[in-house]
Protein backbone atom coordinates (compact mmCIF):
# COMPACT_ATOMS: atom_id res chain seq x y z
CA UNK A 1 0.00 0.00 0.00
CA UNK A 2 2.91 2.36 -0.46
CA UNK A 3 0.87 3.97 -3.23
CA UNK A 4 -1.30 5.50 -0.49
CA UNK A 5 1.58 7.42 1.04
CA UNK A 6 2.79 8.53 -2.37
CA UNK A 7 -0.69 9.61 -3.33
CA UNK A 8 -0.96 11.73 -0.21
CA UNK A 9 1.91 13.82 -1.47
CA UNK A 10 0.59 14.20 -4.98
CA UNK A 11 -2.94 13.24 -5.84
CA UNK A 12 -2.23 13.48 -9.53
CA UNK A 13 0.48 10.82 -9.40
CA UNK A 14 -0.46 7.83 -11.54
CA UNK A 15 -0.17 4.42 -10.00
CA UNK A 16 -1.99 1.34 -8.91
CA UNK A 17 -5.12 2.57 -7.20
CA UNK A 18 -6.44 -0.88 -6.45
CA UNK A 19 -9.71 -0.73 -8.36
CA UNK A 20 -11.52 -3.75 -9.62
CA UNK A 21 -12.51 -3.27 -13.23
CA UNK A 22 -15.73 -5.10 -12.84
CA UNK A 23 -18.08 -6.09 -10.09
CA UNK A 24 -17.54 -9.62 -8.99
CA UNK A 25 -20.24 -11.59 -7.31
CA UNK A 26 -21.30 -9.05 -4.77
CA UNK A 27 -23.93 -11.15 -3.07
CA UNK A 28 -21.56 -14.00 -2.40
CA UNK A 29 -19.17 -11.56 -0.76
CA UNK A 30 -21.91 -10.45 1.56
CA UNK A 31 -22.87 -14.02 2.39
CA UNK A 32 -19.25 -14.80 3.11
CA UNK A 33 -18.96 -11.75 5.33
CA UNK A 34 -22.01 -12.65 7.34
CA UNK A 35 -20.87 -16.22 7.85
CA UNK A 36 -17.63 -14.81 9.15
CA UNK A 37 -19.43 -12.59 11.62
CA UNK A 38 -21.92 -15.10 12.91
CA UNK A 39 -20.27 -18.45 12.41
CA UNK A 40 -16.61 -18.21 13.30
CA UNK A 41 -14.30 -17.44 16.15
CA UNK A 42 -13.03 -13.97 16.91
CA UNK A 43 -9.53 -14.87 15.81
CA UNK A 44 -10.76 -16.07 12.44
CA UNK A 45 -13.05 -13.06 12.22
CA UNK A 46 -10.07 -10.74 12.60
CA UNK A 47 -8.02 -12.91 10.26
CA UNK A 48 -10.69 -12.61 7.62
CA UNK A 49 -10.83 -8.88 8.17
CA UNK A 50 -7.20 -8.67 7.23
CA UNK A 51 -7.80 -10.80 4.18
CA UNK A 52 -9.39 -8.38 1.78
CA UNK A 53 -12.52 -8.32 -0.34
CA UNK A 54 -15.14 -8.94 2.28
CA UNK A 55 -13.51 -6.68 4.86
CA UNK A 56 -16.10 -3.95 4.76
CA UNK A 57 -18.98 -6.37 4.84
CA UNK A 58 -17.39 -8.42 7.61
CA UNK A 59 -16.77 -5.37 9.74
CA UNK A 60 -20.25 -4.10 9.54
CA UNK A 61 -22.89 -6.13 11.23
CA UNK A 62 -22.42 -5.46 14.93
CA UNK A 63 -21.14 -8.92 15.71
CA UNK A 64 -23.05 -10.28 18.69
CA UNK A 65 -20.38 -12.92 19.34
CA UNK A 66 -17.70 -10.35 20.07
CA UNK A 67 -17.21 -9.73 23.74
CA UNK A 68 -16.75 -6.13 24.79
CA UNK A 69 -13.07 -5.33 24.85
CA UNK A 70 -10.07 -4.29 22.83
CA UNK A 71 -10.91 -6.73 20.02
CA UNK A 72 -14.12 -4.87 19.44
CA UNK A 73 -12.12 -1.64 19.32
CA UNK A 74 -9.92 -3.25 16.67
CA UNK A 75 -12.86 -4.36 14.54
CA UNK A 76 -14.48 -0.92 14.83
CA UNK A 77 -11.23 0.77 13.83
CA UNK A 78 -10.96 -1.63 10.91
CA UNK A 79 -14.45 -0.75 9.79
CA UNK A 80 -13.45 2.92 9.92
CA UNK A 81 -10.28 2.07 7.98
CA UNK A 82 -12.19 0.33 5.20
CA UNK A 83 -14.54 3.29 5.04
CA UNK A 84 -11.52 5.60 4.66
CA UNK A 85 -10.25 3.31 1.89
CA UNK A 86 -13.61 3.72 0.19
CA UNK A 87 -13.50 7.50 0.44
CA UNK A 88 -9.87 7.92 -0.60
CA UNK A 89 -10.38 5.60 -3.58
CA UNK A 90 -13.45 7.57 -4.56
CA UNK A 91 -11.61 10.91 -4.66
CA UNK A 92 -8.52 9.39 -6.26
CA UNK A 93 -10.76 7.76 -8.86
CA UNK A 94 -12.22 11.15 -9.77
CA UNK A 95 -8.69 12.57 -10.03
CA UNK A 96 -7.62 9.67 -12.23
CA UNK A 97 -10.68 10.04 -14.44
CA UNK A 98 -9.89 13.72 -15.07
CA UNK A 99 -13.13 14.82 -13.42
CA UNK A 100 -11.36 16.84 -10.74
CA UNK A 101 -9.03 18.67 -13.14
CA UNK A 102 -12.07 19.82 -15.13
CA UNK A 103 -13.72 21.48 -12.11
CA UNK A 104 -13.73 25.18 -11.36
CA UNK A 105 -10.66 26.03 -9.21
CA UNK A 106 -12.47 26.31 -5.85
CA UNK A 107 -14.18 22.98 -6.37
CA UNK A 108 -11.02 21.31 -7.61
CA UNK A 109 -9.27 22.42 -4.43
CA UNK A 110 -12.10 20.90 -2.38
CA UNK A 111 -11.90 17.52 -4.12
CA UNK A 112 -8.11 17.34 -3.84
CA UNK A 113 -7.99 18.36 -0.17
CA UNK A 114 -10.64 15.82 0.77
CA UNK A 115 -8.80 13.09 -1.14
CA UNK A 116 -5.55 13.96 0.61
CA UNK A 117 -7.23 13.96 4.03
CA UNK A 118 -8.87 10.58 3.48
CA UNK A 119 -5.50 9.16 2.42
CA UNK A 120 -3.96 10.58 5.57
CA UNK A 121 -6.70 8.89 7.62
CA UNK A 122 -5.93 5.59 5.90
CA UNK A 123 -2.26 5.99 6.76
CA UNK A 124 -3.02 6.91 10.37
CA UNK A 125 -5.44 4.05 10.98
CA UNK A 126 -3.18 1.53 9.25
CA UNK A 127 -0.25 2.56 11.39
CA UNK A 128 -2.33 2.31 14.55
CA UNK A 129 -3.76 -1.09 13.66
CA UNK A 130 -0.38 -2.45 12.59
CA UNK A 131 -0.61 -6.09 11.58
CA UNK A 132 -4.33 -6.15 12.40
CA UNK A 133 -5.15 -3.60 9.72
CA UNK A 134 -7.71 -4.73 7.16
CA UNK A 135 -6.56 -5.04 3.57
CA UNK A 136 -7.89 -2.62 1.01
CA UNK A 137 -11.02 -3.96 -0.71
CA UNK A 138 -11.68 -3.55 -4.41
CA UNK A 139 -14.02 -0.78 -5.39
CA UNK A 140 -16.13 -0.16 -8.43
CA UNK A 141 -17.71 3.27 -8.60
CA UNK A 142 -19.74 2.49 -11.72
CA UNK A 143 -18.87 5.61 -13.65
CA UNK A 144 -19.79 8.01 -10.83
CA UNK A 145 -16.22 9.34 -10.56
CA UNK A 146 -16.38 10.27 -14.27
CA UNK A 147 -19.44 12.50 -13.93
CA UNK A 148 -19.00 15.73 -11.97
CA UNK A 149 -22.62 16.09 -10.89
CA UNK A 150 -22.94 12.47 -9.78
CA UNK A 151 -19.53 12.63 -8.10
CA UNK A 152 -20.54 15.71 -6.11
CA UNK A 153 -23.87 14.26 -4.97
CA UNK A 154 -22.18 11.04 -3.93
CA UNK A 155 -19.42 12.92 -2.10
CA UNK A 156 -22.04 14.78 -0.05
CA UNK A 157 -23.81 11.55 0.84
CA UNK A 158 -20.54 9.77 1.63
CA UNK A 159 -19.25 12.55 3.91
CA UNK A 160 -22.54 12.80 5.78
CA UNK A 161 -22.50 9.02 6.16
CA UNK A 162 -18.97 9.13 7.58
CA UNK A 163 -20.07 11.70 10.14
CA UNK A 164 -23.00 9.47 11.13
CA UNK A 165 -20.66 6.48 11.39
CA UNK A 166 -18.03 8.18 13.55
CA UNK A 167 -20.60 10.01 15.71
CA UNK A 168 -22.08 6.59 16.45
CA UNK A 169 -18.79 4.80 17.01
CA UNK A 170 -16.67 7.36 18.89
CA UNK A 171 -18.54 6.83 22.18
CA UNK A 172 -18.34 3.03 21.91
CA UNK A 173 -14.61 2.49 22.17
CA UNK A 174 -13.55 0.79 25.36
CA UNK A 175 -10.30 2.70 25.28
CA UNK A 176 -11.07 6.34 26.13
CA UNK A 177 -8.02 7.48 24.22
CA UNK A 178 -9.51 6.01 21.07
CA UNK A 179 -12.70 7.95 21.71
CA UNK A 180 -10.68 11.14 22.11
CA UNK A 181 -8.67 10.44 18.96
CA UNK A 182 -11.68 9.53 16.84
CA UNK A 183 -13.30 12.86 17.77
CA UNK A 184 -10.39 14.49 15.86
CA UNK A 185 -11.34 12.48 12.79
CA UNK A 186 -15.06 13.10 13.32
CA UNK A 187 -14.68 16.89 13.24
CA UNK A 188 -12.56 16.66 10.10
CA UNK A 189 -15.20 14.53 8.38
CA UNK A 190 -17.87 16.98 9.55
CA UNK A 191 -15.91 19.83 7.95
CA UNK A 192 -15.67 17.78 4.76
CA UNK A 193 -19.42 17.22 4.83
CA UNK A 194 -20.18 20.91 5.38
CA UNK A 195 -17.71 21.92 2.66
CA UNK A 196 -19.17 19.36 0.23
CA UNK A 197 -22.70 20.54 0.94
CA UNK A 198 -21.72 24.18 0.41
CA UNK A 199 -20.02 23.26 -2.89
CA UNK A 200 -23.19 21.41 -3.88
CA UNK A 201 -25.41 24.35 -2.90
CA UNK A 202 -27.02 22.60 0.08
CA UNK A 203 -27.17 24.11 3.58
CA UNK A 204 -23.92 22.89 5.24
CA UNK A 205 -25.46 22.12 8.63
CA UNK A 206 -28.88 20.54 8.49
CA UNK A 207 -29.59 20.11 12.21
CA UNK A 208 -28.40 21.07 15.69
CA UNK A 209 -27.55 17.41 16.32
CA UNK A 210 -26.01 15.00 13.84
CA UNK A 211 -27.84 11.69 13.71
CA UNK A 212 -25.54 8.74 14.43
CA UNK A 213 -25.82 5.49 12.51
CA UNK A 214 -24.98 1.99 13.68
CA UNK A 215 -22.50 -0.16 11.79
CA UNK A 216 -25.42 -2.23 10.47
CA UNK A 217 -27.17 0.88 9.15
CA UNK A 218 -24.01 2.11 7.46
CA UNK A 219 -23.57 -1.39 6.04
CA UNK A 220 -27.00 -1.26 4.43
CA UNK A 221 -26.27 2.10 2.80
CA UNK A 222 -22.89 0.95 1.48
CA UNK A 223 -24.41 -2.26 0.14
CA UNK A 224 -26.99 -0.30 -1.79
CA UNK A 225 -24.22 1.62 -3.55
CA UNK A 226 -22.59 -1.64 -4.70
CA UNK A 227 -19.25 0.19 -4.57
CA UNK A 228 -17.47 -2.65 -2.79
CA UNK A 229 -16.52 -5.52 -5.04
CA UNK A 230 -15.22 -8.78 -3.67
CA UNK A 231 -11.68 -9.86 -4.34
CA UNK A 232 -11.33 -11.34 -7.84
CA UNK A 233 -10.88 -15.08 -7.53
CA UNK A 234 -7.91 -16.84 -8.99
CA UNK A 235 -9.63 -20.18 -8.58
CA UNK A 236 -13.28 -21.04 -8.78
CA UNK A 237 -14.91 -22.71 -5.83
CA UNK A 238 -16.88 -24.87 -8.18
CA UNK A 239 -13.81 -26.57 -9.65
CA UNK A 240 -14.46 -30.31 -9.68
CA UNK A 241 -12.56 -32.32 -7.15
CA UNK A 242 -9.72 -34.13 -8.83
CA UNK A 243 -9.09 -36.58 -6.06
CA UNK A 244 -11.05 -39.72 -5.31
CA UNK B 1 4.72 17.79 11.94
CA UNK B 2 1.89 15.54 10.87
CA UNK B 3 4.32 13.38 8.93
CA UNK B 4 6.72 13.00 11.83
CA UNK B 5 4.01 11.92 14.25
CA UNK B 6 2.63 9.49 11.73
CA UNK B 7 5.94 7.80 11.11
CA UNK B 8 6.71 7.49 14.82
CA UNK B 9 3.30 5.83 15.23
CA UNK B 10 4.23 3.42 12.46
CA UNK B 11 7.47 2.57 14.19
CA UNK B 12 5.62 1.83 17.41
CA UNK B 13 3.12 -0.33 15.55
CA UNK B 14 5.95 -2.31 13.97
CA UNK B 15 7.42 -2.86 17.40
CA UNK B 16 4.34 -4.90 18.19
CA UNK B 17 2.30 -2.68 20.49
CA UNK B 18 -0.74 -4.42 21.89
CA UNK B 19 -4.28 -3.21 21.39
CA UNK B 20 -4.42 -1.67 24.86
CA UNK B 21 -1.99 0.98 23.70
CA UNK B 22 -3.69 1.62 20.36
CA UNK B 23 -5.64 4.55 21.73
CA UNK B 24 -2.52 6.16 23.01
CA UNK B 25 -0.88 5.54 19.67
CA UNK B 26 -3.74 7.09 17.77
CA UNK B 27 -3.87 10.06 20.09
CA UNK B 28 -0.16 10.56 19.63
CA UNK B 29 -0.52 10.15 15.88
CA UNK B 30 -3.18 12.82 15.78
CA UNK B 31 -2.30 15.28 18.49
CA UNK B 32 0.35 16.42 20.87
CA UNK B 33 -1.23 14.62 23.79
CA UNK B 34 -0.08 14.24 27.34
CA UNK B 35 0.00 17.81 28.52
CA UNK B 36 -2.40 18.54 31.31
CA UNK B 37 -4.33 21.75 30.88
CA UNK B 38 -5.44 23.89 33.76
CA UNK B 39 -8.09 26.44 32.99
CA UNK B 40 -8.45 29.82 34.65
CA UNK B 41 -11.35 31.84 35.94
CA UNK B 42 -13.73 31.34 33.05
CA UNK B 43 -13.56 27.62 32.52
CA UNK B 44 -12.26 26.24 35.80
CA UNK B 45 -9.80 23.42 36.18
CA UNK B 46 -9.90 20.58 33.64
CA UNK B 47 -7.50 17.85 32.55
CA UNK B 48 -6.11 17.11 29.09
CA UNK B 49 -7.83 14.79 26.58
CA UNK B 50 -8.63 11.34 27.96
CA UNK B 51 -6.35 12.13 30.88
CA UNK B 52 -8.58 11.94 33.90
CA UNK B 53 -11.02 9.49 35.47
CA UNK B 54 -14.62 10.38 34.60
CA UNK B 55 -16.92 11.37 37.45
CA UNK B 56 -20.27 13.16 37.79
CA UNK B 57 -18.50 16.14 39.40
CA UNK B 58 -16.13 16.37 36.47
CA UNK B 59 -19.09 16.11 34.06
CA UNK B 60 -20.52 19.26 35.62
CA UNK B 61 -17.26 21.15 35.07
CA UNK B 62 -16.88 19.94 31.48
CA UNK B 63 -20.51 20.52 30.50
CA UNK B 64 -20.42 24.02 32.01
CA UNK B 65 -17.28 24.69 29.98
CA UNK B 66 -19.16 23.65 26.82
CA UNK B 67 -22.17 25.69 27.95
CA UNK B 68 -20.06 28.86 28.20
CA UNK B 69 -18.90 28.38 24.59
CA UNK B 70 -22.46 27.76 23.42
CA UNK B 71 -23.74 30.87 25.28
CA UNK B 72 -21.03 32.94 23.59
CA UNK B 73 -21.81 31.73 20.08
CA UNK B 74 -25.54 31.90 20.53
CA UNK B 75 -25.24 35.43 21.95
CA UNK B 76 -23.07 36.62 19.07
CA UNK B 77 -25.37 35.20 16.39
CA UNK B 78 -28.56 36.34 18.05
CA UNK B 79 -27.35 39.89 18.60
CA UNK B 80 -26.01 40.06 15.03
CA UNK B 81 -29.39 38.92 13.74
CA UNK B 82 -31.20 41.57 15.78
CA UNK B 83 -28.72 44.29 14.74
CA UNK B 84 -29.50 43.47 11.09
CA UNK B 85 -26.07 44.29 9.67
CA UNK B 86 -25.44 40.97 7.97
CA UNK B 87 -26.35 40.13 4.40
CA UNK B 88 -26.47 37.11 2.10
CA UNK B 89 -24.83 33.89 3.18
CA UNK B 90 -23.35 35.48 6.33
CA UNK B 91 -26.85 36.36 7.48
CA UNK B 92 -28.06 32.86 6.72
CA UNK B 93 -25.16 31.41 8.67
CA UNK B 94 -25.98 33.54 11.73
CA UNK B 95 -29.63 32.50 11.59
CA UNK B 96 -28.99 28.77 11.09
CA UNK B 97 -26.01 28.42 13.44
CA UNK B 98 -27.70 30.65 16.02
CA UNK B 99 -30.67 28.29 16.10
CA UNK B 100 -28.37 25.31 16.58
CA UNK B 101 -26.43 26.96 19.40
CA UNK B 102 -29.70 27.80 21.14
CA UNK B 103 -30.65 24.12 21.02
CA UNK B 104 -27.23 23.19 22.37
CA UNK B 105 -27.63 25.67 25.23
CA UNK B 106 -31.07 24.29 26.07
CA UNK B 107 -29.81 20.70 26.01
CA UNK B 108 -26.80 21.42 28.20
CA UNK B 109 -28.89 23.41 30.68
CA UNK B 110 -31.40 20.57 30.89
CA UNK B 111 -28.66 18.01 31.56
CA UNK B 112 -26.95 20.25 34.11
CA UNK B 113 -30.16 21.24 35.87
CA UNK B 114 -29.37 23.28 38.98
CA UNK B 115 -25.65 23.00 38.30
CA UNK B 116 -25.87 24.99 35.06
CA UNK B 117 -23.84 28.17 35.09
CA UNK B 118 -25.70 31.36 34.38
CA UNK B 119 -25.27 33.20 31.14
CA UNK B 120 -22.50 35.80 31.41
CA UNK B 121 -23.06 39.34 30.24
CA UNK B 122 -21.61 39.95 26.82
CA UNK B 123 -20.41 43.03 24.96
CA UNK B 124 -20.00 42.17 21.28
CA UNK B 125 -19.50 45.73 20.01
CA UNK B 126 -18.84 46.03 16.30
CA UNK B 127 -18.78 42.26 15.81
CA UNK B 128 -22.56 42.25 15.67
CA UNK B 129 -22.83 45.31 13.42
CA UNK B 130 -20.06 44.97 10.91
CA UNK B 131 -20.06 41.96 8.59
CA UNK B 132 -16.28 41.67 8.35
CA UNK B 133 -15.88 41.85 12.11
CA UNK B 134 -18.64 39.35 12.61
CA UNK B 135 -16.80 36.84 10.40
CA UNK B 136 -13.52 37.57 12.17
CA UNK B 137 -15.20 36.82 15.53
CA UNK B 138 -17.27 33.82 14.49
CA UNK B 139 -14.35 31.82 13.04
CA UNK B 140 -12.25 31.68 16.22
CA UNK B 141 -15.33 31.02 18.39
CA UNK B 142 -16.42 28.08 16.24
CA UNK B 143 -12.85 26.78 16.13
CA UNK B 144 -12.55 27.13 19.90
CA UNK B 145 -15.81 25.25 20.42
CA UNK B 146 -14.82 22.38 18.12
CA UNK B 147 -11.35 22.10 19.69
CA UNK B 148 -12.79 22.30 23.22
CA UNK B 149 -15.23 19.47 22.52
CA UNK B 150 -12.46 17.32 21.00
CA UNK B 151 -10.26 18.02 24.01
CA UNK B 152 -12.79 17.21 26.75
CA UNK B 153 -15.63 15.02 25.41
CA UNK B 154 -13.77 11.77 26.12
CA UNK B 155 -13.36 12.77 29.77
CA UNK B 156 -17.12 12.62 30.35
CA UNK B 157 -18.84 9.68 32.00
CA UNK B 158 -20.04 7.01 29.59
CA UNK B 159 -23.70 8.03 29.55
CA UNK B 160 -22.90 11.64 28.58
CA UNK B 161 -20.66 10.95 25.60
CA UNK B 162 -23.27 9.89 22.98
CA UNK B 163 -25.18 13.17 23.27
CA UNK B 164 -22.00 15.23 23.01
CA UNK B 165 -20.82 13.12 20.05
CA UNK B 166 -23.84 14.42 18.15
CA UNK B 167 -22.96 18.06 18.92
CA UNK B 168 -19.23 17.85 18.14
CA UNK B 169 -19.67 17.44 14.35
CA UNK B 170 -22.21 20.29 14.29
CA UNK B 171 -19.64 22.71 15.73
CA UNK B 172 -17.13 21.49 13.14
CA UNK B 173 -19.67 21.97 10.35
CA UNK B 174 -20.32 25.53 11.57
CA UNK B 175 -16.56 26.17 11.62
CA UNK B 176 -16.15 24.89 8.04
CA UNK B 177 -19.13 26.90 6.83
CA UNK B 178 -18.06 30.25 8.31
CA UNK B 179 -14.47 29.67 7.14
CA UNK B 180 -15.77 29.09 3.62
CA UNK B 181 -17.83 32.28 3.77
CA UNK B 182 -14.84 34.41 4.81
CA UNK B 183 -12.62 32.77 2.17
CA UNK B 184 -10.57 30.48 4.38
CA UNK B 185 -9.95 26.78 3.87
CA UNK B 186 -12.89 24.97 5.52
CA UNK B 187 -10.87 21.91 6.59
CA UNK B 188 -7.30 23.00 7.33
CA UNK B 189 -6.15 19.75 9.00
CA UNK B 190 -6.43 16.05 8.18
CA UNK B 191 -7.17 15.57 11.88
CA UNK B 192 -8.38 18.46 14.01
CA UNK B 193 -6.17 19.16 17.03
CA UNK B 194 -7.82 19.44 20.45
CA UNK B 195 -7.23 22.50 22.59
CA UNK B 196 -6.61 22.67 26.27
CA UNK B 197 -9.06 24.74 28.31
CA UNK B 198 -6.34 27.31 28.94
CA UNK B 199 -5.90 27.94 25.19
CA UNK B 200 -9.65 28.13 24.68
CA UNK B 201 -9.92 30.58 27.54
CA UNK B 202 -7.21 32.76 26.03
CA UNK B 203 -9.16 32.86 22.77
CA UNK B 204 -12.28 33.92 24.64
CA UNK B 205 -10.41 36.58 26.57
CA UNK B 206 -8.85 38.00 23.42
CA UNK B 207 -12.33 38.68 21.99
CA UNK B 208 -13.20 40.83 25.00
CA UNK B 209 -16.81 39.66 24.64
CA UNK B 210 -17.29 38.48 28.22
CA UNK B 211 -17.90 41.36 30.63
CA UNK B 212 -15.84 41.31 33.77
CA UNK B 213 -17.91 41.74 36.86
Distance CA(B167)–CA(A205), nearest Å, equals 11
pLDDT tens track, chain A, 244 positions: 333 333 333 322 222 222 221 222 233 332 233 223 223 333 332 333 232 222 222 332 333 333 345 788 888 989 999 999 999 999 989 988 999 999 999 999 999 889 888 888 888 788 778 788 888 899 999 999 999 999 999 999 999 999 999 999 999 988 888 888 899 899 999 999 999 999 999 999 999 999 999 988 988 888 888 898 865 444 444 444 444 3
Distance CA(A199)–CA(A201), nearest Å, equals 5
Whether residue B212 lies inside any domain: the answer is: no
- B23–A129 C-beta distance less than 8 A: no
Q: Of A114, A183, A189, which has the smallest distance from its Cβ to B150's Cβ?
A: A183
Query: Are both B59 and B83 inside the same structural domain?
Result: yes
State the best of B172, B180, B184 to mutate against chain A, taking most chain A CBs within 10 Å: B172
Query: Are both B26 and B42 inside the same structural domain?
Result: no
Distance CA(A119)–CA(A192), nearest Å, equals 14
Q: Of A121, A131, A180, which has the smallest distance from its Cβ to B49's Cβ?
A: A180
Query: Are both B9 and B84 inside the same structural domain?
Result: no
Query: Are both B77 and B137 inside the same structural domain?
Result: yes
pLDDT tens track, chain B, 213 positions: 344 444 333 333 333 334 446 766 665 555 432 233 334 455 555 665 556 689 999 999 999 999 999 999 999 999 999 999 999 999 999 999 999 999 999 999 999 999 999 999 999 999 999 999 999 999 999 999 999 999 999 999 999 999 999 999 999 999 999 999 999 999 988 888 888 888 999 999 999 999 876
A18-229 domain in CATH 1.20.1260.10?
Answer: yes
Query: Are both B92 and B164 inside the same structural domain?
Result: yes
- Identify the domain containing residue B25 by its residue range: 1-30
- B22–A178 C-beta distance less than 8 A: yes
Distance CA(B77)–CA(B94), nearest Å, equals 5
Query: Are both B94 and B159 inside the same structural domain?
Result: yes
Query: Are both B3 and B63 inside the same structural domain?
Result: no
Query: Are both B46 and B4 inside the same structural domain?
Result: no
CATH code, domain with B165: 1.20.1260.10
Whether residue B50 lies inside any domain: the answer is: yes
Whether residue B213 lies inside any domain: the answer is: no
Q: Spell B117-128 as b/e; 16+ CB within 10 A means b.
A: beebebebeebb
Distance CA(A63)–CA(A67), nearest Å, equals 9
Query: Are both B14 and B105 inside the same structural domain?
Result: no
- B168–A167 C-beta distance less than 8 A: yes
Distance CA(B176)–CA(A190), nearest Å, equals 8
Distance CA(A77)–CA(A65), nearest Å, equals 17
Residue B56 buriedness (CB in 10 A; 0-12 / 13-18 / 19+): exposed
Q: Of B2, B50, B169, which has the smallest distance from its Cβ to A180's Cβ?
A: B50
Q: Per the structure, how many domains does chain B have? A: 2
Amino acid sequence: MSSDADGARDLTAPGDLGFALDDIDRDEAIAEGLSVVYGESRARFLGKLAFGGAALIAGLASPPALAAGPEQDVSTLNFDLVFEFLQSSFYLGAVRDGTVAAMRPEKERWARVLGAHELAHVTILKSVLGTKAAAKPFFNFRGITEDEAAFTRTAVAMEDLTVALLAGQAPRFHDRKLTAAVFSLLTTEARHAAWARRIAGVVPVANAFDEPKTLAEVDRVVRRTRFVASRPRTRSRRNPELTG
Amino acid sequence: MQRRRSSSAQTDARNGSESSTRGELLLRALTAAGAVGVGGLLVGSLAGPAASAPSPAQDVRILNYFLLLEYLQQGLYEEARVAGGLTGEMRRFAAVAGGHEREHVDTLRTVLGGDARSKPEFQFGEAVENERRFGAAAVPLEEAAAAAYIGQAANLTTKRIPMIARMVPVEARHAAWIRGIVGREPAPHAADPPQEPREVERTIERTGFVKRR
